[in-house]
A = this chain, B = another copy of it.
Amino acid sequence: MEQATDTSIRSIKAEILCVGTELLLGDIVNTNAAFIARELARIGVNVYHQSVVGDNPGRLKEALSAALERCDLVVTTGGLGPTYDDLTKETVAQLFGLPMERNEESLSSIQAFFDKVGRPMTENNKKQALLPKGAYPLQNRNGTAPGVIVRQQDTGKMVVMLPGPPREMQPMFTQQVTPYLLKLTHSTLVSRTIHIFGMGESQVEATLRPLMEASRNPTVAPYAKEGEVQLRVTAGAATQEQARALIDPVVKRICDTLGDVVYGVDVGTLQGAVVQAYAAKGIKLATAESCTGGLVSKRITEIAGSSAVFDCGVCSYANEIKHKVLGVQQETLERYGAVSEQTALEMARGVRKLAGAQVGVSTTGIAGPGGGSAEKPVGLVYVAADWGEGSQVLQLHLSRNYPDERELIRHLAASHALHLALRAADHF
């Protein structure tokens, strides 16, 4: 049963077709294609092509019919709006030989949107409720254009049409399209994400290769981004419980194998894990930043609810401010310099006391491109944590010899500081 299910969804061949002149001109980056590809991969659907065409009826028709010839499922974005050049639905209806008719459910959900935002619904918005006959409408909770799923009866070929704006498309995909595809193929999928900091992607892969290669259900897929690695463990089964029973031992085995570099499971981000850990213990964190210039506090306060664990951050870019506001001793600055273990430690301690927090973390370093020397090159960064009873400081070499690496160095330094803060919470 499970086997059959699994094969069925994995045998679907898909393509992604994004419609929009603004994409062709490069005015916006096509994040939709990546999002849809990842979500399809997650449920086991293989994507073989992605393409982009402008709002041009001829080329749209050509691209759609080429895609439908090659594959079983075409997911489109864009061209569902109220204006004359929004033609995706009409083109699909034409290719499938279906008439357009008004969908009452879609019409009332468009009306509901206009009521919610308090604007009158104009006549051309009603065009959006015209769907190919027999189509399955997808509700849009964040905009006016409904999505549509059309299936050709004889071939079973499908086109899923979604609006272009990511904040409309993304929830529509995860909340409606994914469940539709799973139901159609009698599958249930469950995923868990293991978050890793302090081990590179290739080393994670090397360590886990036997497990990853042997594992078909659940699958284990790594995603690397700027100093972090995530492993997504996904199982398909007939029920959620069965899927969980397949996943949990694999997640445990991976966490045991990797040890300390795993900072959490399903925690979202490093800063999310920090806020969660501090909130759980009822303690507070303060930040003192030099080379990261506020990036650490910016990342913490990105998290809704961070005000429960974070009161104060100081960005002390100049030595005078390190001394005056954070209480770093003049002697320390003169003897060891602003970029030193000693200064990092005094900054962390200073901001902890200033804020009345349980933990203080700090960053000081050389983000470049200027300011480096033979002794203290670009990329040399110290991060420290102080928790009253103890402290820890790390010396990092973050330069990768890239041009424009300033942002990368700052990002990695901030991540190391957040990781230190997370570890420091263990002492409470």
Are A316's CB and B312's CB within 8 A? yes
The 8 Å CB contact of A302, one of B27, B29, B30, B293, is B293
Q: Do residues B30 and A26 form an inter-chain contact, with CB atoms below 8 A?
A: no
Cβ-defined contact, A317 with B311, below 8 A = yes
Give A401-412 as 1s and 0s: 1 = Cβ < 8 Å from B's Cβ atoms: 111101100100
Type the 1/0 row for A229-269, where 1 means its CB is closer than 8 Å to any CB of B: 00000000000000000000000000000000000000000
On chain B, the residues within 8 Å of A26 by CB distance are 33-41, 47
Which A residues from 336 to 393 make CB contacts under 8 A with B? Answer: 354-356, 368-371
Known contacts being A50-B51, A53-B49, A307-B317, is A167 close to B27, with CB within 8 Å? no
Instruction: Indicate if the CB atoms of B39 and A49 lie closer than 8 Å.
Output: no
In the complex, whether A2 has a CB less than 8 A from a CB of chain B is: no
A144 cross-chain contacts in B, Cβ below 8 A: none
Interface residues on A, range: 35 or more
Contacts of A59 in B (CB 8 A): 48-49
Confirm or deny: A305 has a beta carbon within 8 angstroms of a beta carbon on chain B. Answer: yes
Whether B406 contacts A304 by the Cβ 8 Å rule is yes
Nearest CB to that of A52 among chain B residues? Answer: B50
User: What is the 8 Å Cβ interface bit string for chain A, positions 48-71, against chain B (1 contact, 0 not)?
Assistant: 111111100001000100000000
**Chain B nearest CB, measured from A37 CB (Å):** 3
From A128-136, A207-215, A318-326, give the one contacting chain B: A318-326
Partner of A29, one of B31, B116, B306, B354: B31
Alpha-carbon separation in the docked complex, A251 to B26 (Å): 23
Question: A414: nearest residue on chain B (CB-CB)?
Answer: B298
Contact pick for A401, options B117, B294, B297, CB 8 Å: B117
Known contacts A26-B34, A325-B354; is-contact A370 B314 (Cβ 8 Å)? no
| A293 close to B315 (CB less than 8 A) | no
In the complex, A298→B34 CA distance in Å? 28
Residues of A282-339 whose CB lies within 8 A of B = 287, 289, 292-298, 300-302, 304-307, 310-318, 320-321, 324-325
Q: Name the contact of A325 in the complex, choosing from B296, B312, B410 (C-beta under 8 A).
A: B312
| 12 chain-A/chain-B pairs, Cβ below 8 angstroms | A24-B48, A26-B36, A26-B47, A27-B38, A27-B223, A29-B33, A50-B52, A117-B401, A293-B298, A304-B406, A305-B370, A306-B317
